[in-house]
Amino acid sequence: MPEVPEMQNVMVEREGHLALVYVNRPSKLNALDDLTIAELSAAMAALDDDDAVGAIIVTGAGEKAFVAGADIQVLAKQGVLDGKENARRGQALTLRMENCRKPVIAAINGFALGGGLELALACDVRFASDNAKVGLPEVSLGIIPGYGGTQRLPRLVGSGVALQMILQGDPIDAQEALRIGLVNGVFEQASLLDEVKKLASRMVSRGPQALALAKQAVRRGAHMSLQDGLDLEADLFGIISSTDEMKEGMAAFLEKRKPSWLRK
């Protein structure tokens, strides 16, 4: 079982087959700096490799923020080369989250601005507290989103809505985020994490290899033509059909019992 390394700005808790990853800089509204990005990347890598982990919930420590953005003190000092390197570091983290074999769920418990929203966009599904505010305010600082926001937001909500959010730079509330499809649901702040754990547990009750291949089909297929996506789906359907997991899932259904998946 891979061990999550000791960290300063990220906290990992385990509850059965669930892993909870907290961005833990509440005094800075959980803003992302280089150390926090590196620690999040290390945590995600360890949890992805841990067969005992069925799903990962990403949230922010404290009651005010999921992640309020990147650290402005760092951004204010960057030039062309380190600006590009900064974007690449953030993009590498969001790609690691997106490509994780396990379901990754964002529990947005307050502000998710700039890099914070970009972190949430890299998750498979997103749920928000009723007091959450989300947005990409970078243009108000004279920069643009750099951790994938210009690419993932249009793919999720459409280019017109995404461009309005990006070009205005104004945050939206949780209900508007739900209306445009940016989040999958809204809960009262006090119950957000418990509700997300319930939803994550439902995913964990499904076949782990099926979850990984379903994610792969959706993620890879989104960048293909329909025919290429269908070919990918057929290939992955063939792969899962050869597994003990498929045999157990089918047998459990026919025998009217719960399947016993191979989780450690």
Structure tokens, 198: 């319930």
The pLDDT, as a whole number, for residue 3 is 65
Let me know if domain 10-204 sits in CATH 3.40.309.10. no
Let me know if the fold of 10-204 is the same as that of 208-254: no
Question: CA-CA distance, 72 to 27, in Å (whole number)?
Answer: 14
Mean pLDDT of 68-81: 74
Q: pLDDT digit string (tens) for 85-132? A: 889 999 999 999 999 999 999 999 999 999 999 999 999 999 999 999
| pLDDT > 70? residue 263 | no
pLDDT band at 74 (very low <50, low <70, confident <90, very high): confident
By annotation, the residues acting in catalysis are 118, 138
Q: pLDDT digit string (tens) for 205-232? A: 999 999 999 999 999 999 999 999 999 9
Close Cβ partners of 103 (under 8 Å, ≥ 6 residues apart): 54, 55, 56, 124, 125, 200, 203, 211, 215
Q: pLDDT digit string (tens) for 143-160? A: 999 999 999 999 999 999
Question: CA-CA distance, 211 to 122, in Å (whole number)?
Answer: 17
Let me know if domain 208-254 sits in CATH 3.40.718.10. no
| Residue 69 or residue 220, greater confidence | 220
Q: Where are the domains of the chain?
A: 10-204, 208-254
Mean pLDDT of 70-94: 82
| pLDDT > 70? residue 141 | yes
Close Cβ partners of 52 (under 8 Å, ≥ 6 residues apart): 1, 17, 263, 264
